Amino acid sequence: MALGQLVQRRRKPGNIIIFLLLLSIGIVLIYHGFLVSGLVLEFPWIGLFVIPFYFFIAPLFVFFLQSITIKNYILKLVNYLHFIPGIVVTFLLIPFYTMDPLSKIAFLKDPLNLSNDPTGLKMQYSIIMGSMIVTWIIYYMYFIIKNFHLFNSKYRKKNPIINYAIIYFVLTSLVTICYILSILLHKVFNYPYSFHLDIVRIFSLFIVLLLYVIYLMGKRYPFYIQLLQREVKRIHYDKSKIDKLDVESVLQLLNRLMEEEKIFLDEDLSLVKLANELSIAPYQLSEVLNERLNASFYDFINSYRIRESEKLLIEEPERSISSIAFAVGFNSLSAFYNWFLKITCMNPKKYREKHLKEIVK
C-alpha cells in the first residue's frame, strides 16, 4: 500500500505523506509482531530501532489529515521541522545500537530500572518514552482544536460524508489512547506485561483493519477524498465568514434593535434589510444567527413576533386575532397561525382563553 503511493501517475504531496505514514506504521506493526511473538529478544537490534518512527507517525498523521481536509495541500519547509524530534531520538539511541547483543537483551528486559543504569541510557530512554507520549497528545490536541468546528452537529447533519471521517478519527484516537495508557501502566505502574501485549495485539489488529477499510473505501468510492475535501472546504469557508467580525457587538446591536426598537414589527423586514441595519453582509448575519443563536433568520424574527403577539392577546382581549397578527409583522393570517402553533403548541384563541382564565383566578 505504501509503495502504491509512489507509482501514482499524478503524484501529489499527499501521496508522499501517505507513503511515509504507511511505511512508519508498517515498521511499528512489524515490531509489534516481534514483540508479541517474543522474537524481539532473539533480534534485539530491532528493540529500539522502532522508537524514532513513533515520533514520525504523529506529525505524519496530522499532515495526512490536513491533506484530506485541505485541497492542494503542500508541505512547507517549516513542516519538515516536525521530523527533528525523531531524528534527534535516532542519534540519542546510538549508544544502544552500538551495544553487544547480550547487553541489548539485558537492557530490553528491564529498560526502566534506573537503579542499575551505569551508562545513563535507561534514564535517557525514560525521557524519550515520556516525550513520545507527550508528542502524540500535542499533535492530537492540535488537530482537534484546529478543526473543532468540523465536529459541530450542524455541519455533520448537512454533510453526512464528514461523519465517516470523524468516525475513523474518533476510533483511531480511542485505540491510540488505550495504547498509550497500556505503555504508561506497564512501564510506570508495573502492570503485568501480558496486559500490555494484549493491548498491542488489539491496537495492531485495529490499525490493520482500519487500513484495509480505507483501502476498500478508496476502491469502492474513488472520489471520496475529493468529496470530503470539497465539504471541508465549504465548512471552513462558512466558519471564516464571521471570523473577522466583532460578533459580540453585532449581537448587542441586534438585541437593541429587537428589544427596544422592535424592528421585527416591520412586515417587510428581510435578511438583507436587517443586515444593513447592523452594517454587515447578509451572509454574515445568517452565519451569526446559525452559529451563535442556533436559529435561521425566520426562526429568529418570528419568535419575537410570536412573543409580542402573546403579550397583545392578553393585554388587549377585545382586539381581534387577525389585527394582532398583522400588527406584530406577519403578512398573512395562515403564517401567523402556523408559527404560533409551532412555538406555543396551541392556537392563538386557546392561548388567550387559557391565560385570561388564569388571570381571573
Domain ranges of the chain: 3-237, 244-360
Summarize the confidence of residues 40-46 as an average pLDDT.
82
What does the chain come to in residues?
361
Tell me which of 5-19, 26-40, 196-210, 317-331 is least confident.
Answer: 5-19
Q: Which pLDDT does position 300 carry in this prediction?
A: 93
Question: Does 6 score more than 90 pLDDT?
Answer: no
Q: Which pLDDT does position 98 carry in this prediction?
A: 84
Question: Does 151 score more than 80 pLDDT?
Answer: no
Distance CA 279, CA 293 (A): 19
Q: Which pLDDT does position 225 carry in this prediction?
A: 57
Question: Does 237 score more than 60 pLDDT?
Answer: no
Tens of pLDDT, residue by residue over 323-359, are 999 999 999 999 999 999 999 999 999 988 888 877 6
Q: Which pLDDT does position 182 carry in this prediction?
A: 75
Question: Does 11 score more than 60 pLDDT?
Answer: no
Give yes or no for a contact between 271 and 278, defined as CB atoms under 8 angstroms apart: no
> Which band of pLDDT confidence, cut at 50, 70 and 90, is reported for residue 122?
confident
> Which band of pLDDT confidence, cut at 50, 70 and 90, is reported for residue 19?
confident
Q: Residue 359, Cα to own-chain centre: how many angstroms?
A: 51
Pairwise pLDDT comparison (214 vs 251), residue with the higher score: 251
Question: Does 68 score more than 80 pLDDT?
Answer: no
Question: Does 251 score more than 80 pLDDT?
Answer: yes
Distance CA 161, CA 182 (A): 33
Give yes or no for a contact between 27 and 2, defined as CB atoms under 8 angstroms apart: no
C-alpha cell at 288: 451569526
**Percent of the chain residues topping a pLDDT of 70:** 74
Per-residue CA distances from 220 to 24, 215, 225 (Å): 26, 9, 12
Q: Which pLDDT does position 96 carry in this prediction?
A: 83
CATH number assigned to the domain with residue range 244-360, chosen from the 4 options 3.40.50.620, 1.10.10.60, 3.40.50.300, 3.40.120.10 = 1.10.10.60
* pTM of structure: 0.56
Question: Does 263 score more than 90 pLDDT?
Answer: yes
Pairwise pLDDT comparison (123 vs 184), residue with the higher score: 123
Q: Which pLDDT does position 197 carry in this prediction?
A: 79
Tens of pLDDT, residue by residue over 161-180, are 566 666 777 777 777 777 77
Highest mean pLDDT: which range of 76-90, 110-124, 133-147: 76-90
Residue 360: count other Cβ atoms within 10 Å of its Cβ: 6
Residue 322: count other Cβ atoms within 10 Å of its Cβ: 12
Question: Does 301 score more than 90 pLDDT?
Answer: yes
One-letter amino acid of 259: E
**Percent of the chain residues topping a pLDDT of 90:** 18
Residue with cell 499524478: 10
Encode 9-24: b = buried (16+ Cβ within 10 Å), e = exposed.
eeeeebbbbbbbbbbb
Arithmetic mean of pLDDT over the chain: 79
Q: Which pLDDT does position 266 carry in this prediction?
A: 92
Pairwise pLDDT comparison (320 vs 10), residue with the higher score: 320
Per-residue CA distances from 323 to 28, 313, 331, 347 (Å): 75, 10, 11, 15
Question: Does 149 score more than 60 pLDDT?
Answer: no
Distance CA 63, CA 139 (A): 10
Q: Residue 225, Cα to own-chain centre: how many angstroms?
A: 17
